[in-house]
Amino acid sequence: MGEFLQIDETACENIPELSRLVTRPAHAAPLRTVVVGGGTGASVSIRALRSIGICPDAVVAMADDGGSTGLLRSRDDMTPPGDVRKCLVALAGDPASPFARVFSGRMPDVEDHALGNLLLAALEDECGSFPDAIAECERLLDACGHVYPSTLEHVRFVAKNEDGTIIIGQHDASLSSSALKRVRLSCEDGAPSAYGPAIDALKNADLIVLGPGSLFTSIVPNLLIPGIPEAICESDATVVFVCSLADAQGETRGFSVLDYFDSIERYGLRGRIDYFIAQRERLREPTLLTMHLDEVDRVYLTSVEVQTIEQRDTRVLKRDLCNEKYQWLHDIGKLGSAFAEVVRECHSPQK
């Protein structure tokens, strides 16, 4: 079995116990929280929120066309399952359980497909709809929250980079030779329509978290769906944007923290970001355990950027967020502590 199925150890890591950081009375209603993004980054926020006792829902981008998901899309015109799968595992009642581990594992002998992707694809056919397939997997995983696609339409990511090159496809765009300048989604019926339950979840939320993750190919695709940014703006929720720590790809090559903030505002959220969480200082020099950091642009706050962003009525949390071993990744406990600070300030019983 070990040769047939490779387990994603990172996805199945135990959720740390930090719930002491947030104290809410037992009779208080659960904090309705929604994470918005793509699979990898959104799952980080889900795990960080769970570490402080909050189990969120997730609104997930549907533009993925790489790897196992890309094969399913190109061959069978399936709804892209990859980002949904990652969020489902993060929401599992026990993310380290055998089923959660197998669900997130890959099968090298079957074109390196993720087993969860194949299961979602098969259940979509069996159940008759992708939301029903997700619901069945939520049941199997004993998920504590729900995963909502931002749209059910089959969309294609289209970008123009700083060099003027038009790039079609999310995967190729993420590897652009220069930063992306404009992005959009295309679909057969014109503008894609939002998935109704995703809109409802956002409108009814107390806390909305965007990111971390790839800015243009994971977070922004949700905001390109008509109705999604409007739902965030109409909501009474506290809105938090978590900035990336480093860019290992090309879509935000050379971006400063302020560039990240300006970009997320430009896609329908101007004046709506209440909290901005970013790395407080330059990451220390890498070790051999990290990665080829000569290919990585590090992202950290400067004092001038803090002042500029806070002048726009956004509270900046300048914190040490990076994982000690993999410095381009967020540490779950550190990010959970930042989220706990937001909750204490905005959603304590006295508020």
Q: Going by CATH, does the domain composed of 31-62+150-351 fall within 3.40.50.10680?
A: yes
Report the SS3 class of residue 22.
coil
Mean pLDDT, to the nearest integer, of 42-64? 96
The mean pLDDT value for 35-40 works out to 90
What CA–CA distance (Å, rounded) separates 69 from 78? 8
Supply the pLDDT for residue 87. 96
Residues 237/200, Cβ–Cβ less than 8 Å: no
Selected residue with higher pLDDT from 299 and 46: 46
* Mean per-residue pLDDT, 327-342: 94
Q: Where are the domains of the chain?
A: 31-62+150-351, 64-146
Q: Please answer whether residues 159 and 120 qualify as being in contact, where contact means their C-beta atoms are separated by less than 8 angstroms.
A: no
CB 344 within 8 A of CB 338: no
Mean pLDDT, the chain, whole residue set:
85
Angle between helices 257-264 and 303-310 (to 10 degrees): 20
Report the C-alpha gap between 3 and 7 in whole angstroms.
10
Q: Which helix (H) or strand (E) holds 168?
A: strand 166-168
The answer for residues whose C-beta is within 8 angstroms of residue 200's C-beta and 6 or more apart is none
Instruction: Give yes or no for residue 82 having a pLDDT over 60.
Output: yes
Cβ atoms of 115 and 106 closer than 8 Å: yes
Distance CA 202, CA 262 (A): 22
> What gap in Å lies between CA 318 and CA 308, rounded to an integer?
13
Checking if the pLDDT of 9 tops 50, the result is: no
pTM above 0.85, yes or no: yes
Q: Provide the pLDDT for residue 284.
A: 56
Decide: 146 and 204 in contact? Cβ < 8 Å: no
Which ranges in 30-157 belong to alpha helices (H)? 39-50, 67-76, 82-91, 98-104, 115-127, 130-141
Tell me the mean pLDDT in the region 242-267: 91
> pLDDT confidence of 105, banded at 50, 70, 90?
confident
Distance CA 77, CA 79 (A): 7
Determine if the peptide bond prior to 192 is cis (ω within 30°). Answer: no
Q: Considering just the CA atoms, what is the radius of gyration of the chain in Å?
A: 19
The torsion angle over the Cα atoms of residues 190, 192, 196 and 201, rounded to 10 degrees, is -150
Distance CA 308, CA 187 (A): 37
- The model's pLDDT over 60-73, given as tens digits with 9 standing for 90+, comes to 999 887 655 546 55
* pLDDT confidence bin for 269, thresholds 50/70/90: very high
Q: Of residues 24 and 44, which shows the higher confidence score?
A: 44
Write out pLDDT tens, residues 158-195: 999 999 999 998 888 988 999 999 999 998 777 899 99
pLDDT category at 81 given cuts 50, 70, 90 is confident
158 in Cβ contact with 167 (< 8 Å): yes
61-75, 77-91, 130-144, 154-168, range with the lowest pLDDT: 61-75
**Cβ contact 138:91 at 8 Å:** yes
| Residues comprising the chain, all counted | 351
pLDDT of residue 281: 75
CA 80 to CA 70: how far, in whole Å? 8
pLDDT at 338: 98
